A and B are shown apart, each in its own frame.
Chain A
């Protein structure tokens, strides 16, 4: 039975950071089609801050809270606030240093709730929520199957959610003024979120 602890979480963030860095220019290019083209820089800078804290953490709850604040200290617009809110919320949803499957799902659910307090966007609005919400839903739905399977299901759901943004009209952020001109473009935030969950899944399995 696999548990989620500080060490595994640190491996997950490190893997996510490496993947996001590799694809940063792809995210910026996607963002440039509908926004101002800095999402690659923004997500890498937020996740660099998150990972820096993760590598030093020993208390899971405190570590997640510090990760959230560190992300928010990065000046990268809504990305830093949303990523910060995600980890702050995850911190709120955690007790103890070693989480079972149900506790891991509860942690991500609490993170999603905190993000929802910051953005009114929901599924269908062509934002990172199109990947984040399905990912967390998949975690919850797979609680019986253990953490590795949950994370894999989350990664698949996030990828599918990101792909769905292609046909959507944006309702939030700078893209909303483009109207139907954004149809055919993937949302950069949804794609980077899918990339993050895919890396979380790999990072968790690779740890230990």
Chain B
């Protein structure tokens, strides 16, 4: 592992300090490991909160700001923040109209969130929890609880955030976000493994000539190892199950995202997007919103996540609505 680090124990605190200093007009540290909007949303609008480990920058704190998240509660590298920390954020953002807590389906995050929900209920806070689980690598028949939440949370923050900003009620924001969640699917692929920045240990190792479709965002295995394929072959192999998963048909509108996991270049990602777009086009499926970027990464892992979202009529304007966060801006 070759990285610019200080004391490995201070990585999370130091990265959040640097981040909030750089984007001080958009994000601030409310307290240790809680990132909030610098210009708070008015209390008559639903707040949007999420949680997750560090090490995936810009996710998740990169999307705190007007039109997206109100707060992100950050754990240590790849680790969920504790329930008391999450409760602290929920209490600080408490408002009568309520809070939507978005949780990515990973064992630690879910446990922290469930425990925090129990504590929040005891405090009389109005919070609803939405679990994302759009990873299809375990198979379409797999129960939701066994499907991981991957980078699809980011467009979900966009949609839910815009709905909240528009003054929708908690039930409405939840419904819009849940419907969006059900209509998206993600598949990841990795070519090289990640390392854990606190101890330098490799999380996974892949032979030089192999790639793995379905590898998760911490480098955890997904099962589909093959010899390295070309960009077109890889894109085709990934977009097809995604189309099946979201049941996209001719005439449907979609959002297509290629999210780089840290060590794959934008050049490669452009090639992947091109082919996936062409496959969708050949089936009469329209991409009304596209994105090629690093939105959720894993320490120097080469690979990407391909996210396909089938959009309802109300999702399209929500995706296009203004937002102003460090890593997603619409004017």
Contact = CB atoms under 8 A, between A and B. Distances in A.
Interface of A: 25, 28-29, 32, 35-38, 40-42, 69, 71-82, 84-85, 118-119, 172-179, 181
Given A37-B196, A41-B198, A119-B111, A75 B76 contact: yes
Interface string B47-89: 0000001000000000000000000001111111111110000
Contact of B196 (A36, A79, A82): A36
A195 to B, nearest CB: 18
B305 interface: no
A28 B82 contact: no
Given A37-B201, A119-B111, A75 B80 contact: yes
Contacts, number: 117
Interface residues on B, range: 35 or more
B218 interface: yes
A174 B107 contact: yes
29 contacts: A29-B201, A32-B202, A35-B203, A35-B220, A37-B196, A37-B202, A38-B79, A40-B199, A41-B198, A69-B84, A71-B82, A72-B83, A72-B112, A76-B75, A76-B76, A77-B109, A78-B108, A79-B108, A81-B115, A84-B82, A84-B83, A84-B115, A118-B111, A119-B107, A173-B107, A176-B146, A177-B223, A178-B221, A178-B223
A32 B203 contact: yes
Contact of B111 (A71, A73, A78): A78
Contacts of A85: 115
Given A75-B82, A85-B115, A177-B137, 4 more contacts: A25-B199, A32-B202, A38-B78, A38-B198
Contacts of B146: 176
A90 B267 CA distance: 55
B138 interface: yes
Interface of B: 12, 33, 53, 74-85, 106-109, 111-112, 114-115, 137-138, 146, 148, 196, 198-199, 201-203, 214, 216, 218-223
A77 to B, nearest CB: 3
Given A118-B115, A174-B107, A77 B53 contact: yes
Nearest to B148: A177
Given A37-B201, A119-B111, A73 B223 contact: no
Contacts of B203: 32, 35-37
A177 B221 contact: yes
Contacts of A71: 82
Nearest to A31: B201
A43 B83 CA distance: 17
Contact of A118 (B74, B114, B220): B114
A29 B202 CA distance: 9
Q: Which 7 A-B pairs have the closest CB atoms?
A: A77-B108, A77-B79, A78-B108, A174-B220, A75-B75, A37-B201, A75-B76
B202 A75 contact: no
B42 to A, nearest CB: 30
B59 to A, nearest CB: 16
B198 A78 contact: no
Nearest to B298: A36
Given A73-B84, A75-B80, A77-B78, A177 B220 contact: yes
Nearest to B88: A73
A72 B220 contact: no
B220 A36 contact: yes
A78 B81 CA distance: 9
Of A74, A77, A80, A177, chain B has the most CB atoms within 10 Å of the CB of: A77
Of A28, A71, A80, A119, chain B has the most CB atoms within 10 Å of the CB of: A80
A75 B81 contact: yes
Contacts of A29: 201
A136 to B, nearest CB: 19
A173 B221 CA distance: 12
A73 B111 CA distance: 13
A85 B222 CA distance: 30
Given A81-B108, A118-B114, A174-B218, A76 B79 contact: yes
